[in-house]
Structure 1
Amino acid sequence: MSTQDQELRSVGLKATLPRIKVLEIIRGSEERHLSAEDVFRRLLEQGHDVGLATVYRVLSQLEAAGLLSRNVFDGGKAVFEMNEGDHHDHLICVSCGRVDEFTSPVIEKVQYEVAEAHGYELSERRLALYGVCSTCQKNASAPRGRA
C-alpha cells in the first residue's frame, strides 16, 4: 500500500486515482502553493484524463479531511498546500505573485496577546504580508536600454 493510500485511508477517504494523483502533484511540487488550475494542468501534462470539476472536488475533500490547507491571497484565487501541522505565515509579492513562507515566534506571541487583550480565544490564524520581492525590486531598478 502506497503512502498516499495509507494517508487517505487514515482520514477516512477511499484511495481513488484522482485523490492519489492530486496528493502526488502537490507533495512533489517545487512550488508550495498550487491552484486547482495548476493541479489540473499538471495532471494533463502527465497524461491523466481528469476534469477540472473533479480536481476542485478532490481538493475540497482533501482540505476537509485536513490533508491540505487552502489560502486565498490578494486577487481571490485559492491556492492549496500540504497541511504539515506547522504554522507559518506568508509574504506575497504584489508584482509577480511569488509567495514565501516564514515563521516568527515574536509574531506568534503577539497574535495570542492581541487576541487575549480583546477577549478572544484563537481558533485559527493567518497572516499575509504584501510587498515587492527582491527579484522584482532588482528588475525595477535595472537600467533600461533605449528602444
Structure 2
Amino acid sequence: MNSRPTLACPTDEAPSAADRIAACGLRVTDSRVQMLLAMERQTAPMTVEDLMRHLMTSGQSFSLGTVYRVLSDLANAGLLIRQWIDGVAGPRAIYLARANPAHVAPHRLICRLCRSELQFFSRDLKASITQSLGKDPLGSANDSLDILYCCPKCAEPA
C-alpha cells in the first residue's frame, strides 16, 4: 500500500512550503517551493501560462518545461488540485493550491439529456444555496458542485 507520510507539526505554526513538499515524499527544490508559494497566494485557478507570467513579473525565472514538471509533481503529490477545462486547442489544465480554503473549486453544469458540460467558478454559489434554503446542506466542504440542467440545444423544440 502506498501511503503518504502525515505532517507532524510540534508547534502551532503552519508547516512551511518546504515541509509540506518533503512530507509528500518530494525532494525540496527552490522551483517547487517558489511555485507552491506562488500558487498558494492566488485565489483563482491558474494555467501554466498564467503562472509563468506571474513568476516573470515577480522577478523569478523558470523555463516553461520546469513549470509544467513542477506543477505536475505538486498535483500528483496532492499539494495542488488539477482540473481540466476546454481550451481553444483542446483540454487545458488549471491548478489550485489545495491548502488554501480561499480557493474557488470549479463547478459544472451538466445537461441531463446530452451530457454536455460547462465549467465555471463561483465563490458565492454555496452561500446562495444556503441562503435560499435557510440551512447549509453542503457543510464546510470546498468541493465542486455538479448541477444538472437542460442545455439550450436540448431545450429547443424539434
TM-score by length of 1: 0.59
* Superposition deviation, residue 91 in structure 1: 5.7
Aligned length: 108
Counterpart in 2 of 1:18? 31
| Residue 83 (structure 1) aligned with residue 104 (structure 2) | no
Greater helix content: 1
User: Whole-Å Cα distance in 2 between the matches of residues 127 and 71 of structure 1?
Assistant: 14
| Residue 9 (structure 1) aligned with residue 26 (structure 2) | no
Answer whether contact 1:91 1:100 (CA < 8 A) is retained: no
Letter in 1 for 2:34: K
Alignment CA distance shift 1:13-1:81 (3 Å): same
Query: 1:73-126, CA deviations, whole angstroms, 9 ceiling, x for partnerless residues?
Result: 23222100012498x55268xxxx962255577689xxxxxxxxxxxxxxxx87
Alignment CA distance shift 1:126-1:59 (3 Å): farther
Counterpart in 1 of 2:62? 50
User: Whole-Å Cα distance in 1 between the matches of residues 75 and 67 of structure 2?
Assistant: 12
| Residue 68 (structure 1) aligned with residue 80 (structure 2) | yes
Identity percentage over the alignment?
A: 28
Alignment CA distance shift 1:39-1:23 (3 Å): same
Counterpart in 1 of 2:6? none
* Superposition deviation, residue 16 in structure 1: 0.7
User: Whole-Å Cα distance in 1 between the matches of residues 57 and 42 of structure 2?
Assistant: 14
Answer whether contact 2:40 2:100 (CA < 8 A) is retained: no
SS at match of 1:43: helix
TM-score by length of 2: 0.55
Answer whether contact 1:67 1:83 (CA < 8 A) is retained: yes
User: Whole-Å Cα distance in 1 between the matches of residues 42 and 67 of structure 2?
Assistant: 16
Answer whether contact 1:68 1:81 (CA < 8 A) is retained: yes
User: Whole-Å Cα distance in 1 between the matches of residues 92 and 79 of structure 2?
Assistant: 19
Answer whether contact 2:85 2:93 (CA < 8 A) is retained: yes
Answer whether contact 1:69 1:80 (CA < 8 A) is retained: yes
SS at match of 1:79: strand
Alignment CA distance shift 1:70-1:128 (3 Å): farther
